[in-house]
Amino acid sequence: MYILYLSGQALFRAAHPLNLLSAGSFLMLSVQPGWLFDQGFQLSFLSVIAILLLGVRFLDGSLRPLLSPLRSAGDNERLSFEPGPWSSLGRCWRARAELLAEACADRGHRSIEPALLATFRTSALGMLHLGGMALISLSVQLWLNPVMAFHFNRLSWISPVSNLLVVPLASLTLASGILAVLADCAALPSLVPLGIATWCASALVQSTDWFSRLPGTWQRCATPSAFSTGFLLLLMFVWSVFQWRHIWIPCLATLLCLVWLGNGFLLLEILLRSRDARSFLARQDDSGRPREDLQLIFLDVGQGDSVVLRYPDRTVWVLDAGGIRDATPEDTEPPSLDIGEVVVSRYLWSVGAPRLERALLSHPHQDHAGGLFALIKNFAVREINYGEPGFDALLEQLVAAARARGVLPRRVQAGDRFAMGPVKVEVLNPVVDGTRRSINDNSVVVRLTYGRFSALLTGDLEITGETEVSLRARELEARLLKVAHHGSKSATRDSFLDRVRPRWAVISAGRNNPFGHPAREVLIRLVRHGARPLLTSDQGAITFRTDGARYTLSTFVSGVLEQGEF
C-alpha cells in the first residue's frame, strides 16, 4: 500500500486511503485467497477500515469542529465560520474562554489573559488528541467485536479505554525493538533501545492483565451466526461508504446486538424459569415443529472423553470434558492446551447453551477432568457430580474450584436415578461398600433410557469394573455404547458385550495416540457382536439424536450416516 501511495504521488495522482487498502488486500488475496478466512487478516483489515470509514468521520464530523475554534482562542486572525452544530458549539466555547480570560485579567494582572488563553489552547489540543484516540478506538471495537465474538466468543467492553494506554505501549515496543535490531545489525550499541523495548513490553503485559481483571470489562458470549456477523459489518460498511446521515443508527444497532449476544441468554434463562414457558419450548424446535429429541454428542477431544447430553427440555449435561492430547492417566498438572476451553466450551457456545444443569466427572484423570475447570469458569453450572470415594488431588482441586464459583459439588453412586422429562437416567457405578478399587473401576457409569432407545456411558471401566457392573445391574442392554477406556484391551470383554448387546459403539480416542487405542481385538469383538464401531479420531464429533422411536446418527466428517426407527 505504501508503494502504491508513493507511485500515485510520483504521478501527481491523489489516492483515497480506502482505494489503497482495497488494492493491497486484492493483491494479497490474489496470491493467497485463503487469507480471506484467516482471523488475523480479517482483524487487521477491518481495524483499518474502521479507522478510515468511521473513526475519521467521527473525528472530522464532531471532535475537530468542536475543538478547532478553542485551539485558536485569542487569535483574531484565525476565525471559524464552518457550518454545523458542532462548529457552533465550538465557537461558543471559544467566546466563553476569551471572555473568562479577559474577566480574569480585569480583576488581576494583565499577564493572566495570555496565560489562560494558552492553557485553553493547549487543553483543546490535548483533548483533540486524546478524544481522537478514544473515538478511533471505539470505532475499531464496534467493527471488531462481532468478529471477535464469532472467532473467540469474547466481547471486550474495556478496549476503547484500555487502548489509550495499550496502543502507545505497543507502538513504543515495536519502534524500540526495531531500533535495537537495526543498531545491532550496524554494530552500534543496542542495549538502550533493547532496554526500552523490554520495559515497554513488560508494561504492556502488566497493563493488559490489569485491565482484564477488572470486573465486567469483558465477557464470554455464544457464537453468533456467520450471517448476522456479516450483516452487521455490511451495514456499517454501506452506511459509511455512502456517507448517509445519522451514522449513530448502525453503531447503536451493532452495540445492541453485542449486548444481546452477551446477555440475551440470561434473559432467556429467566424466561425458562417459568414452567409454562419451559414446557412450551420443550415441545418446539427451531422451525416450530414438535420437539422431543434427546441428543448425545461425543466430542472429538483427542485422547480423552467428553459427552454432551441435551435433553428434550433443553437441559444440558456434560459428562467429562477432555484434558490434554496424549495425556497419561497419572497427569495432574494443568494441560498446556485446554481442551475444555478450545473444544468443549466452543461447542457449547456454538449451540447457545446458556447454562449447564450438571457437569459429571466419570473419574479424576486429566484426560477426563482437565477441561471441567474451563466449563466451571465459562458457564453457569448448577451442580458438579463425581463418584470417586477416595482422596484424589485433582478431584480436590476441581471441587475447590467449583465451590469458589458457587457450584454445588455432590457425589453420585450406584442406585441414583434422575428423571429428565421423559428421559430416565440411572447411575450404575460406583458402589460405596468399602472395597478398594482402581480409579478406572470407580468410574461413574450412566445408563439412559428414552422410549425404545437406551445408551450406556462407561467412563474408563476395566475388566473388574465391567464384571461387577454386569453382576449388579438388572438391566444393562443398550443400543448405544460408549466403549470403556478409549477402546483399551483391558475392557469391553465378550461377557460384557453379551449383556449390553449394542448396535452402535462410540470410541473416543486420539489419532496416533501412544497407547494404541483402540485395540484391534476390541474392534473385532464389537463387530463380532453386531456393533458398528464409531471413532472420534476418524469421524470427529459424533451426534446421536432420537425421539425414542426414530433416530439420526451423524458425524462432523461424514454428515448423516444413518436414519431410521427402532
What confidence score (pLDDT) does residue 290 get? 46
What confidence score (pLDDT) does residue 562 get? 94
**Average pLDDT of span 29-33:** 92
Confidence of residue 235 (pLDDT cuts 50, 70, 90): very high
More confident residue, 1 or 311: 311
Cell 498446556, residue? Answer: 336
Query: Does residue 490 lie within any of the structural domains?
Result: yes
Q: What is the dihedral of CA 384, 386, 389, 391, to 10 degrees?
A: -70
Q: Which segments of 7-164 are extended strands (E)?
A: 154-156
Q: Which segments of 110-238 are extended strands (E)?
A: 154-156, 218-220
Query: Does residue 393 lie within any of the structural domains?
Result: yes
Half-sphere exposure for 458 (CA within 13 Å, toward CB): 35
What confidence score (pLDDT) does residue 267 get? 61
Of the candidates 528, 442, 538, 427, which has an alpha carbon nearest to the alpha carbon of residue 485? 442
How close are the terminal C-alpha atoms of the chain, in Å?
A: 63
Of the candidates 451, 453, 438, 414, which has an alpha carbon nearest to the alpha carbon of residue 365? 438
Domain count, the chain: 1
Query: Does residue 75 lie within any of the structural domains?
Result: no
Q: Is the pLDDT of residue 21 over 70?
A: yes
Q: Is the pLDDT of residue 286 over 50?
A: no
Query: CATH code at 364?
Result: 3.60.15.10
Distance of alpha carbon 127 from its chain centroid, rounded? Answer: 35
Confidence of residue 266 (pLDDT cuts 50, 70, 90): low
The values of phi and psi at residue 245, to 5°, are -75, 170
More confident residue, 267 or 115: 115
Query: Does residue 389 lie within any of the structural domains?
Result: yes
172, 180 contact by CB (below 8 A)? no
Domain containing 384 equals 294-565
Cis peptide before 518 (omega within 30 of 0): yes
Read off the pLDDT of residues 312-345 as tens digits, 9 standing for 90 and up.
988 999 999 998 644 454 555 555 678 999 899 9
Query: Does residue 474 lie within any of the structural domains?
Result: yes
Query: Does residue 100 lie within any of the structural domains?
Result: no
* Measured CA angle at 73 (ends 69, 76), to 5 deg: 95
Rg (C-alpha) for the chain, rounded Å, is 31
Q: Which segments of 430-522 are extended strands (E)?
A: 445-450, 453-457, 480-482, 504-507
Query: Does residue 513 lie within any of the structural domains?
Result: yes
**Average pLDDT of span 78-103:** 88
Q: Is the pLDDT of residue 47 over 60?
A: yes
Query: Does residue 89 lie within any of the structural domains?
Result: no
Cell 444440558, residue? Answer: 316
